[in-house]
Structure 1
Amino acid sequence: MAGRTREPESTRTAERRGRGGRAPTEARDAPSEPSDPTRSRLGRLLRGSRRRTLLLALLLAVVLGGLGGWLLYGSPWLRVDRVAVSGTDVLTERQVREVAAVQEGGPLVSVDKEAVERRLRAELPRIREARVVRSWPNGIGLKVTERQPELVMKRAGIYVEMDREGVRFATAERRPKGVPLLVFELERSAVSTRHFGAEKLRQAAAKTAAGLPRPVRRAAETVRVRSYDDITVELTDGRTVLWGSAERPGAKAKSLTALMKAAKDAEHFDVSVPSAPAASGS
């Protein structure tokens, strides 16, 4: 009986790979491409250069920041050596400086401007506005605007000054020259007092005084308040002006100026309704 002929091993392996196995592809079996040593070295140099540039930039920023901080806070060149005051009339420059309390010799940049402004307004009520400015390299400027009295009230022998907003900001033993006296006569208008309150009535009176034409303002002796809608201005020569409420001051001032020119001998002027002014007496 004849024996079986065996197939060569290489043939069986090829058949098995044809049925399910994968023969090595050309790409897989191909040798990797050798790297370019020049290109690799150039990449390393570029990466190293970028790192050095970044480090140098960071170092420069730290140095400049430290130098700037020292110049502002530690150097002797940017320190306060003078405090200038402007805008004072009644107040003295010394009063303003003392209340401002700006430390001379301290760093100019460390002066808290907002805190100084608040302190000036709080401790010196006569100051309506305060502005603090740095004047490099060594100065601080204190620019103030004082309140101007539009009216005075007499209380226990003392005159209380009020500005155009009705703010009471100062007292004086003598009545300031040229400032009208505020007088309340509210017995017959208790309803008005309850509705508006003393503060609103003071504000209305101050607004009236501030709205008078300049010649009338200079001649005003008394501002008499009977109610919110009944404010009368008495002049030094005995003439009177019924102003009414404090509303529409511009229209009333214009109407009063024209009325006084047209009725020069009149003693009483009524501009409570500015579109229909009236004059009487002679």
Structure 2
Amino acid sequence: MFGRRQVALSRGDDRVVSTGLADRLKERQTALRRLRLTRAVKTAVVVLAIVLTVWALAFSPLLGLQVRRISVAGSDGSVSDKQVRDVLASYEGDSLLRLDTGRLSTQVSDKLVRVRRAQVTRAWPHGLRVHLTMRVPVATVQDSDGYQVLDNEAVVLERVSEAPSGLVTIVPDSAAQTSGPQRISAKQVAAVTQVVGSLTPETLAQVSSGSATEAGQVTLTLSSGASVVWGNSQDNGLKARVLATLMTTTASVYDVSSPHRPTTRSADGAATTAAAPSQAS
């Protein structure tokens, strides 16, 4: 009997041990589930906070563009603030974070012909700053509808019924042998505008007209009656500097077609080789 009682006790101990292990395992599983649930809740809260932040900043009115808060600088008066705002009006309410300022800059310069370049930057929290670089009218040419006003890239800035004062008039090539009215080609117009656009303001103020051959050889006429043999449109910047120096002396012809050996001719036909470009610049 003593042996059987010992066996019974041993079996009871086994059951107690087994029950204890099961309870601890259950507690551990419960704690693990709670930990997972806590982590899931925290993750959900973080994700929700991120979603709400993104929505608030990118899609809500919090940082929405207000067109009336678009400021414009750099205009010469030919483009109004309202015209710039009208170009950007379709973005009213869009978050500043989502606006592509590079694209907006291109839109302004594409839609407004008088604008050469536009730079759009954000003005937090609801505005934009638009800085304009304007096209400068330098020449005019007559067409069937009146006169075109052009910049140095031969872009037509406007059409007017009468030739504006203060601009270089592009005229037909007088040396061309043609019968009937002589047309001025787009190539000739572009050649003259490039040259005129490279002149210093002081020189430009003394130029009354310009012409070009079909080969692109440009000649300018000054208000004094003197002429400038420019040649092609290579080295325009150098030629402009050389011409500005040559015009400090009186001559009937200023020849900068070879800017490294420029010459002048007086009314009696005497030719003079001018200073080297290094001295002229």
Q: TM-score, normalised by structure 2?
A: 0.71
Distance (whole Å) between structure 2 residues aligned to residue 224 and residue 122 of structure 1 = 29
Aligned AA (1:266): A
Q: Which is worse superposed, 46-55 or 169-178?
A: 46-55
Match of 2:235 in 1: 248
Bigger-Rg structure (1/2): 1
Q: Which is worse superposed, 177-186 or 201-210?
A: 177-186
Distance (whole Å) between structure 2 residues aligned to residue 128 and residue 86 of structure 1 = 14
Q: 1:214 aligns with which of 201, 205, 211?
A: 201
> Residues 76 and 230 of structure 1: is their aligned pair in 2 closer, same or farther, counting only changes over 3 Å?
closer
Q: 1:125 aligns with which of 90, 113, 121?
A: 113
Q: 1:260 aligns with which of 240, 247, 259?
A: 247
CA contact (8 A) 2:57 2:95 kept: no
Aligned AA (1:268): V
Match of 2:49 in 1: 63
Q: 1:178 aligns with which of 166, 174, 186?
A: 166
Q: 2:255 aligns with which of 264, 270, 278?
A: 270
For residue 205 of structure 2, give the secondary structure of its aligned residue in structure 1.
helix
CA drift at 1:280: 0.7
Render the CA deviation track for 1:52-104: whole Å, top value 9, x for unaligned.
32541233122331243035433456452522222221122222222332455
Aligned AA (1:141): R
The within-5 A match list for 1:10-49 is: 45=31, 49=35
Match of 1:232 in 2: 219
Render the CA deviation track for 1:95-150: whole Å, top value 9, x for unaligned.
2222332455x243365656644543343222222233321111123332221112
For residue 55 of structure 2, give the secondary structure of its aligned residue in structure 1.
helix
Distance (whole Å) between structure 2 residues aligned to residue 242 and residue 77 of structure 1 = 58
> Residues 174 and 88 of structure 1: is their aligned pair in 2 closer, same or farther, counting only changes over 3 Å?
farther
Q: Which is worse superposed, 112-121 or 130-139?
A: 112-121
CA contact (8 A) 1:204 1:228 kept: no
Match of 2:12 in 1: none
Match of 1:13 in 2: none
CA contact (8 A) 1:268 1:280 kept: yes
Is residue 142 from structure 1 mapped to residue 130 from structure 2 by the alignment? yes
Structure 1 unmatched runs, 5+: 1-33, 191-196
Percent of counterpart pairs with the same letter? Answer: 23
Aligned AA (1:56): K
For residue 98 of structure 1, give the secondary structure of its aligned residue in structure 2.
helix
Render the CA deviation track for 1:144-163: whole Å, top value 9, x for unaligned.
22211122111236221222
CA drift at 1:166: 1.8
CA contact (8 A) 1:221 1:234 kept: yes
Aligned AA (1:278): T
Match of 1:156 in 2: 144
Structure 2 unmatched runs, 5+: 1-17, 179-183, 268-281
- Please tell me the root mean square deviation across aligned C-alpha atoms, in Å: 3.3
> Residues 75 and 273 of structure 1: is their aligned pair in 2 closer, same or farther, counting only changes over 3 Å?
closer
For residue 184 of structure 1, give the secondary structure of its aligned residue in structure 2.
coil
Match of 1:169 in 2: 157
CA contact (8 A) 1:189 1:227 kept: no
